[in-house]
Amino acid sequence: MQDIEVYLFLGFLESGKTKFIQETLEDPRMENGQRTMLLVCEEGEEEYIPEKFEVKNVAKVTLESVDELNADNLSSLAQKYGAQRVVAEFNGTWLLQQFFDAMPEDWVIVQMMTFFDSATFLNYNANMRQLVFDKIQMTQMVVFNRFKPEYDKLAFHKIVRGISRRPDIVYEYVGGKAEFDEIEDPLPFDKNAKIIEIEDRDFAWFYRDMAENTSDYIGKTVKFKGMAALSKKAGKDCFILGRHIMTCCEADTAYDGFAVKSGGMLPDVKTRDWVTVTGVIGIEYNSMYRSKGPVIKAVKLEYSDPPEEPVATYY
């Protein structure tokens, strides 16, 4: 059985999804003989104009409610229209996982793009952070439509990069000019310093970069403050030191940390004690990870006051 290619377009109502899909289906380069199902999960003011499509054999299907988003229904629709390709305009209030859970086994996502109206994006992020996070976390490109020169690119950039480093960012100005984001993302600390000092506000970035680029830290000395957690899995003279990190919203907060070999220092440390560690990072097996992982061999340990913001964030 041949896989069905899925092009998934995300964003809130009136964010520019319909216009982009219309222009895509008007592009003769998209015509490759495949029968295409245009799966519309929400309909705004802008309507499709099928007579302008250069792509032939397009069947437009509208899902009226999230209850219709299930594997049986999607399989039935694909079979009914003989779909070899799916172009999906996803509903901005539905969660991406709902689409993943509903995808038939032979559907494969080949492209995912997210669109926002620049005039409303910052407000959406302030009031509906979970939905914004949901539409950015796995996308390949974020497009800010109707962008104006007076808008602060850095404010938009930071929100996207606080969620994911994966996507390209494009600013599409009123008038049609498009500009790729070229803002560099230097880490807020110097990981080539003799002692890499992590400020309280930067712990989430440190944790993420350590996870993504572990080899960069092997043999280096780091200093940071964290909340201790005792665990038999960590081993003798060893405890976990980390922070609660909020990736998206309060419900998405989780404790993450690193194994610290105390060398007998702070023998009375307890779970929830705040501790500052200075130590050398190595990679070795620790049962806390159930495999090899970063283990910090402490050179110095001292009790500390909690940070002003106990929960670490990316923004």
What is the 3 state secondary structure string of the chain? Answer: CCCEEEEEEEECCCCCHHHHHHHHHCCHHHCCCCCEEEEECCCCCCCCCHHHCCCCCEEEEECCCHHHCCHHHHHHHHHHCCCCEEEEECCCCCCHHHHHHHCCCCEEEEEEEEEEEHHHHHHHHHHCHHHHHHHHCCCCEEEEEEECCCCCHHHHHHHHHHHCCCCEEEEEECCCCEEECCCCCCCCCCCCCCEEECCHHHHHHHHHHHHHCHHHHCCCEEEEEEEEECCHHHCCCEEEEEEEEECCCHHHEEEEEEEEECCCCCCCCCCCCEEEEEEEEEEEEECCCCEEEEEEEEEEEEECCCCCCCEEECC
pLDDT confidence band for 162 (50 / 70 / 90) = confident
Predicted local confidence at residue 95, as pLDDT = 95
Instruction: Give me the mean pLDDT over the 38-66 stretch.
Output: 94
Percent of the chain's residues with pLDDT above 90: 85
Can you tell me the mean pLDDT for 9-25?
A: 95
Q: What is the pLDDT of residues 95-136, one digit of tens each?
A: 999 999 999 999 999 999 999 999 999 999 999 999 999 999
Q: Is the per-residue pLDDT at 233 higher than 90?
A: no
pLDDT band, residue 45 (cuts 50/70/90): confident
**Six-digit token pair at 125?**
């992020």
89 band by pLDDT with thresholds 50, 70 and 90: very high
Tell me the pLDDT tens digit for each residue of 27-40: 999 999 999 999 99
- Look up the pTM and report it: 0.72
pLDDT in the model for residue 232: 80
